[in-house]
């Protein structure tokens, strides 16, 4: 079995992208709900529905812009506090049916079964594997030390 090794340092851009991927479905729901309410206002010529649709749309846009940034900033600061101001470096290895996540500095390890992966989300810079227990395992697209992104996908298909 091919080994995949990925190493990355947490930063604001990766965390923002992670939270955007995590919250994308909520944003899509809010947009669809606001369009539905807005159309109801047009059909029934009701100003209340029109106003509610516009308010929901504005809320959705604010949610899209500010929520991932706020969560990324909060968690990045928390990571820095826990590591005494040092960047947190993670290594993710996939081999022998296991996914091993290791903090490079503290050598703390967590293992997950490759069979527990139920969903894959891909962004510009990251790939997230979501397990059945709703744990997100992040890979940086530029962080592959051994193996490639295609190798990761081929292991997941098996």
**Does the structure show a pLDDT above 90 at 155?**
no
User: Given the structure tokens 């470096």, which residue do they identify?
Assistant: 89
Read off φ and ψ for residue 11, nearest 5 degrees.
Answer: -145, 175
**pTM of the shown model:** 0.76
- Higher-pLDDT residue of 37 and 148 is 148
Which candidate, 94, 151, 93, 157, places its Cα nearest to that of 120? 157
Q: What is the pLDDT of residue 137?
A: 92
Q: What is the pLDDT of residue 83?
A: 81
| pLDDT tens digits, one per residue of 38-69 | 777 777 777 777 777 778 778 888 877 788 88
Domain 4-10+88-157 of CATH type 1.10.287? no
Q: What are the boundaries of each domain within the chain?
A: 4-10+88-157, 12-82
- Higher-pLDDT residue of 93 and 82 is 93
Q: What is the pLDDT of residue 29?
A: 84
Max mean pLDDT among 49-53, 78-82, 83-87 falls in 78-82
| pLDDT tens digits, one per residue of 111-127 | 999 889 999 999 899 99
DSSP 109-154: EEEEEGGGEEEEEE-SSEEEEEETT--EEEEETT-EEES-HHHHHH
**Does the structure show a pLDDT above 60 at 1?**
no
Q: What is the pLDDT of residue 126?
A: 93
């Amino acid at each position: 079995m091919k080994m995949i090794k990925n190493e990355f340092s947490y930063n604001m851009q990766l965390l923002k992208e992670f939270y955007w991927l995590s919250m994308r479905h909520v944003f899509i729901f809010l947009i669809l709900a606001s369009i539905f309410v807005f159309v109801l206002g047009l059909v029934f010529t009701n100003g209340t529905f029109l106003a509610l649709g516009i308010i929901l749309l504005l809320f959705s846009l604010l949610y899209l812009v500010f929520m991932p940034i706020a969560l990324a900033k909060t968690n990045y600061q928390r990571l820095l506090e826990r590591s005494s101001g040092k960047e947190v470096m993670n290594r993710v290895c996939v081999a022998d049916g296991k996914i091993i996540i290791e903090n490079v500095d503290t050598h703390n390890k967590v293992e997950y079964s490759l069979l527990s992966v139920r969903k894959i989300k891909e962004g510009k810079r990251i790939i997230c594997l979501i397990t059945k227990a709703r744990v997100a395992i992040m890979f940086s697209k530029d962080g592959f030390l051994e193996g490639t992104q295609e190798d990761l996908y081929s292991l997941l298909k098996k």
